[in-house]
Structure 1
Amino acid sequence: MRPLAIALVGGVLIAPIPAQADVALMAGQQARPLQGAFNTVPVLHSNQPEEVHGPGILVTTTPGQTIAAETGQPLANATYTFNGEFGLHVHHKYYPNDKSRMGSGGGRRGELTLATLLINPSSQPVHIRFEKGAVRNSFEAPYQSDNLMGVKPLGHRPWNTGPGDATAVQMLRGKLDRRLADEITIPARSRIVLFSTQLPAKGIANGLLKGRSDGPFQMAVVAAEDPQSDSDLIAVLDQRRLAPGRVYLSRIRQIENGTVFSRVAGVAIGDEYTASVSHDLQQGALHVPLTSTNRHHFGTGEVQINPLVTRMVDSSLNNVGTYGVRFDVTMNLTGTGPHKLVLSHPTINGRGKFTAFRGSIRIETSDGYQEVHVGMKSGESLPIADLYLRPGQSNPVKVSLVYPADATPGHLLSVVSDQQLANLKQRETMTAVAAAATKQSPPEVPVAAIKSPVFEPVTIRPAAPPVVAPPQWIEPPPALPNLEGVSAAVINPTRMSESLMLRYQQAVEAQQKMMNSLLGR
């Protein structure tokens, strides 16, 4: 962590405050590495290109090469043969090159069909059973950004926060979408369509699936505009042309040296990450990285990203987003009384606030389990559960999530006292109040640039004395000119009534206070 700073806000000394700390909740404290591990299940990820501009192959694990639409050059396929347990993750958007398909002017938008194909290269049929998964597009599961921020109970029906979260919830709960077959057979030396989804222009589709085969097979993800049958989808594979939209083909060297992060098109090893840690909260708060990256590991040096065993040349080098990966973290806690389970995302220097996470989390304790939906901005720390620790025993807390697409990895999971979280919220509130007050204050003007106003001495003469009775003020006196700098001695008390003199003295004092405030005195 970076050095601490002391701040004075509203006359109250607040310390310590992190100077540009990654996570304010962690100021002055250290995180512990989880030292967890990925399993060895191979997963095909189809996320590059994320934005698809037209028909073609998105990724294929068959041997050989396919032709890039942008360059006309052949590119090696992400060759891999699955056999046994496997996973699949698909995430794409449709932005057609043909603008007539965008639906401008009130016309009907064109549709792109995304399909996953299964290929059996052997002379024996291959049987596959599916354990869990779902396929959704953004019209079946719309993303509502504003009214789903914060922490809410998930409930039986998941919140609609985009197709990435909708499919992740199915995986988290271990359920298979009723629209997907739980068993399928690929005949010998044949190809079949596993599933397809129609995606209108400007839409997003996401698919997550896990299964097990009794023999070798390969997979491909293809896109077709207005196909009439499964044969049209299989024909896309035979054309051996990649779909347009591969914007990283001109940045291969930057991908390889790690200065540019592309999306993933290839096979990653691992669809689950498990870890366990024991901690005595009487010794202080617990902070552990969750979905940590090279950039955001909170001083632990731990990077929780699984490797790729094969990839397209314009893919990232590893599964940088960890989309679709299930994280199971068990914390065996000792301590006493109420605590908070908190999820944080670091402040990203140089970037404004953005939605860093919108997804679902399961929390299990000895008292039972709960599921919550979390919508989080960058730089936030949100309490996601209340914990009550029983003294003299271990209190296990298990946190599980399937990392959803369109989230930004690099989170911190913490268990802190209620007081530590309350102190953070108080600092944040006071900082926000101070910032708001600063915006309302007039801009500072250098003293040297301020020219003192010049006033001529003012002599105030009373009206002629009345004939019958002493004067009585019915209306207030007329407005005075700006009297900054005018001494009260200028006003001759012997030539005016005490009431009149008092009114003018009050006016002078009011003018002086106003000028002093403008001059910052």
Structure 2
Amino acid sequence: MLPFLLIFPIAQITPPPAAPPPQEIVQQQQVRPLPGNLDSVPVFNSNSPEKVLKEGILLSTFPSEGKKVSTAHLNFPFKGRFDVFAHHVAQAPTPEDLRSLYLGIILHNPGKQPVTVNILQAASYLSQPDAPFAELPSKSENILGTIFAGPGDRVMYDVLRGQRQDTFPPQIIIPPGESRMLMNAPIPVNGLTPPLNGRSTLMRLWSNDTVYAASLAMFAPKNPDGSEREPTLEEWQNLLNNGDLSGPRDKVPTPLEETNKPIIYGRVAGVAQGTEWKALLIDDPKTQHLTIPSSGQAFSYALSALNRGTLGTSQIQSAPMLVRYPDTAYRAHGNYTVQYSLTLPLYNNTQNPQTVMVSMQTPIKEDQLTKAGLRFLNPPAPQVLFRGSVRVRYKDDQGLPQTQYLHLVQKRGQQGEPLVLLNMKAGERRLVEVDFLYPPDATPPQVLTVQTMNNVGSTSLVK
């Protein structure tokens, strides 16, 4: 007799339901080009190669005479106001090679008189341990500057506050015909998992006469006992005179006139023109005020608009390059470190009180608006496109002056939270000022939006 068998059905494992695709929200409104323009201050912009595995020259504006590799030197002198920006990542070339990569920035006086270089503001931070990337709320009060995600984010806050780190002297005096190190700082990877680290630096400078500048990458030399030491001025000068461009090289950018293929913007290595964009946002030059939108409506101004991302304004805000290496970006797309200083003299021209909201938003990138307005996603996509601090100055509803520092984190398609909410009386005028430095690791474009709430206390912008 056959044994009795118990047969159990095989359990069917039902996969969890897929998350519904994000809902697209169209904010039907006008998008305006940003008034004003970039200033003419040159920016030494060292951001390519971003990941440095081979020591060498990152960016040199020295003349090519007397240099072993003439094509590595762009021959651009600085005098008066200029900025120095450097943003690079070090990764261990092999699992065993955990030497620190040093970033050196050198200034040279070619003249016959001493040159004084004043360091007006300056900050430099590492990813680890100074400013690790972290998950943060979409809006945080940041008056103390303790909220940041990434070294670029933290550097921009310091410079926005007008600070100079103690590691930088107030000035450097360079004797005639000599060079001095503006910065000589490590990017350590030993003890990190993975062995990867980055450093962001921004300096606002003023020189009373001509100087040349270079940024260089060198693995830490060793002491006799095997410990690391920082490179000497002579070692940096030898690398400058005899070295080649650092590597590996980044992706070659797409020529801007080639509009029929996907665009590679490339990374910047050269001198860009423009460090601040001041804008007075008004109806027209005759009125000198900005009339708030009708109830339930909004308008926006493009921020950091760029090739193929003008949001229907046809305005390209990216700083032009005065000199550049031929395999690097044609413009400073994204305007890293550029300060946007925006003034909004708001005016309620109606006979009724109005609640007005000023916000920063990250709509879906478009060149021409396909749906007569800005497109957003609910929920936003996972990619973080902006993280940085914004300063807002205004008078509150009691007439008291307020200054707030707000840290924002915005993902692709995120509508953003209010920077300021104003209850404006009939006929009232209220001045709002918004300032921020466009942070490294952010992705343009963004917009500054002015919205008037409808009568029930919420906007009727979602279509």
Contact 2:273–2:321 (CA under 8 A) maintained in structure 1? yes
Matches within 5 A, 1:269-280: 269-278=273-282, 279-280=290-291
DSSP 3-state at the match of 2:210: coil
For 2:94, which of 95, 98, 117 is the aligned residue?
Answer: 98
Structure 1 residues 416 and 207 mapped into 2: Cα distance closer, same or farther (>3 Å)? same
User: Aligned partners of 1:378, 1:66: CA distance in 2, in Å?
Assistant: 48
In structure 1, the partner of 2:14 is none
1:254-269 → structure 2 map (5 Å cutoff): 254=255, 257=258, 259-269=263-273
Preserved contact between residue 65 and residue 75 of structure 1 (Cα < 8 Å): no
Map of 1:306 onto structure 2: 319
Aligned with 1:315 (options 328, 333, 337): 328
Correspondent of 1:129 among 94, 118, 131: 118
Task: Kindly provide the amino acid, as one letter, of the partner of residue 247 in structure 2.
Answer: P
Secondary structure at the counterpart of residue 170 of structure 1: helix
**Matched residue, 1:232:** 235
Q: In the alignment, what sits opposite 2:435? A: 400
| 1:57 aligned partner | 57
1: CA distance, partners of 2:133 / 2:156: 17
Corresponding residue number in structure 1 for 2:103: 114
Match of 1:450 in 2: none
Residues 375-399 of structure 1 show CA distances to partners (whole Å, capped at 9, x for unaligned) of 1111001123222324323211111
Which residue does 2:371 correspond to in 1?
A: none
Describe the superposition over 1:128-184 as per-residue Cα deviations: whole angstroms up to 9, x where unpaired.
Answer: 1111121111124333332x1310000213313111011101111111111101111
**Counterpart code for 2:382:** K
Contact 1:339 1:417 in 2 (8 A): yes
Q: Is the 8 A contact 1:87 1:210 kept in 2?
A: yes
1:386-397, aligned counterparts within 5 Å? 386-397=421-432
Aligned twin of 2:28:
28
| d(CA) in 2 for partners of 1:426, 1:315 | 40
2-side partners of 1:379 and 1:421: how far apart? 23
The offset of 1:346, in angstroms, is 1.9
Q: CA 1:216 to 1:334, structure 2 compared with 1: closer, same or farther past 3 Å?
A: same
Q: Calculate the TM-score normalised by the size of structure 2.
A: 0.79
- Which of 367, 373, 385 is equivalent to 2:420? 385
The answer to whether the 8 Å contact 2:255/2:330 transfers is no
Letter in 1 for 2:91: Y
By relative contact order (CA 8 Å, sep 6+), the higher-ranking structure is: 2
Q: Report the residue type matching 1:330 in the other structure.
A: T
Query: Which residue in the other structure is 1:333 paired with?
Result: 346
The residue aligned with 1:439 is none
CA distance in 1, matches of 2:256, 2:462: 43
Aligned to 2:212: 218
Residue identity in the other structure for 2:405:
E
Please state if 1:178 is matched with 2:166: yes
Distance (Å, rounded) in 2 between the aligned partners of 1:337 and 1:190: 62
Instruction: Report SS of the residue matched to 2:96.
Output: helix
Structure 2: where are the runs of 5+ without partners? Answer: 1-21, 190-195, 222-228, 283-289, 367-376, 396-400
Does the 8 A contact of 1:208 with 1:324 survive in 2?
Answer: yes
Deviation at 1:285, TM superposition (A): 2.0
| Structure 2 counterparts to residues 501-516 of structure 1, below 5 A | none
Q: Could you tell me which of 382, 403, 426 is aligned with 1:353?
A: 382
- Looking at structure 2, the residues matched to 322 and 219 of structure 1 have their Cα atoms a distance apart, in angstroms, of 20
CA distance in 2, matches of 1:140, 1:19: 38
Distance 2:29 2:345 in 1: 19
For 1:171, what is the secondary structure of its paired residue? helix
Partner in structure 2 of residue 281 of structure 1 = 292
- What SS class does the counterpart of residue 54 from structure 1 fall into? coil
Amino acid in the other structure paired with 2:154: A
Tell me the equivalent position of 2:393: 364
Contact 1:347 1:379 in 2 (8 A): yes
Partners of 1:149 and 1:376 within 8 A in 2: no
- 1:320 corresponds to which letter in structure 2? H
Check conservation: 1:66, 1:77, Cα contact below 8 A: no
**What do the CA deviations read for 1:317-373 (whole angstroms, capped 9, x no partner)?**
111121110001111211243222221112259995300011000011133211100
Determine if contact 1:291/1:411 at 8 Å carries over to the other structure: yes
Deviation digits for residues 401-460 of structure 1 (CA, Å, limit 9, x no counterpart) = 011100012001111134499457988xxxxxxxxxxxxxxxxxxxxxxxxxxxxxxxxx
Q: Is the 8 A contact 2:101 2:188 kept in 1?
A: yes
Please state if 1:293 is matched with 2:287.
no
8 A contact 2:293–2:450 mirrored in 1: no
Q: Give the number of equivalent residue pairs.
A: 392
SS at match of 1:341: strand
In structure 2, the partner of 1:12 is none
Say which SS state the counterpart of residue 84 (structure 1) adopts: strand
User: d(CA) in 2 for partners of 1:308 and 1:50?
Assistant: 18
Task: Confirm or deny: 8 A CA contact 1:114 1:196 kept in the other structure.
Answer: yes
Conserved? CA contact 1:49–1:263, under 8 Å: yes
Counterpart Cα distance in 2 of 1:274 and 1:132: 19
Q: Does residue 412 in structure 1 map to residue 415 in structure 2?
A: no
Structure 1 unmatched runs, 5+: 1-17, 102-108, 428-521
Distance 1:369 1:59 in 2: 38
Q: Secondary structure at the match of 2:244?
A: coil
User: In the TM superposition, what is the alpha-carbon distance from 1:39 to its structure 2 partner?
Assistant: 0.9
After superposition, the Cα gap between the structure-2 partners of 1:65 and 1:99, relative to the gap in structure 1 and judged at 3 Å, is farther
Query: Could you say what secondary structure the match of 1:31 adopts?
Result: strand
TM-score, normalising length: structure 1: 0.70
What residue is the counterpart of 1:196 in the other structure? 184
Q: Is 1:245 the counterpart of 2:248 in the alignment?
A: yes
Q: Which structure's residues are more often helix, by fraction?
A: 1
Supply the AA of the counterpart residue of 2:143: G
Pairing 1:342–2:359 present: yes
